[in-house]
Amino acid sequence: MRGRKPKPTQLKVIEGNRGKRPLNKQEPQPRRGRPSCPRWLKGEARKEWKRVVPELDHLGLLTVVDRAALVTYCQAWARYVEAEEMLSQYGGVLKSKTSDYIQVSPYSTISKQNALLVKAFCQELGLTPASRGRISVPVPAGKPDDPMEALIDGD
């Protein structure tokens, strides 16, 4: 498949369908909800799950089928953190004990690869300022966020 990947219909609706193109009325609509955290997810990956999932759920951006993407994101984050810790400990360059051969630390490669994965998933999940700027979340009923609105409404 060539060209840009299609934007999900729900995102087009939220954004107001700026392109005015026909919406896909047959797009699958997974059930909204917070996916369960796998028991085997440990350490830094589990911490990241506990940090991001409640926020994404609060924004209404999660469905029950998002588990695999979230797990992959959290594992990439954990591997990135581990590689950065190792780089801090051992440095980014390794020198052979038997010769003058110098090489880049494998942790640099691991860090870079996982940073790219984390960035890609952050964009997909709305975890960057730019990706959030393209999403509009409806304000829940109740008190208005704007103090002037509260005055106008008489609250």
Say how far residue 8 (Cα) sits from the centre of its chain. Answer: 16
Residue 33 half-sphere exposure toward CB, CA atoms < 13 A? 8
The reported pTM is: 0.72
The DSSP element (H or E) to which 93 belongs, if any, is strand 93-95
| Tokens 């300022």 -> residue | 129
Place of tokens 């640099």: 108
User: For the chain, how many residues are written?
Assistant: 155
For 66-111, what is each residue's pLDDT tens digit? 999 999 999 999 999 999 999 999 999 988 888 888 999 999 999 9
Per the CB < 8 A criterion, the answer to whether 118 and 83 are in contact is: no
pLDDT digits (tens, 9 = 90+) for 2-39: 666 666 676 677 777 777 878 777 777 778 889 999 99
Q: Considering only CA atoms, which of 144, 145, 137 is closest in space to residue 153?
A: 144
Domain boundaries, the chain: 34-136
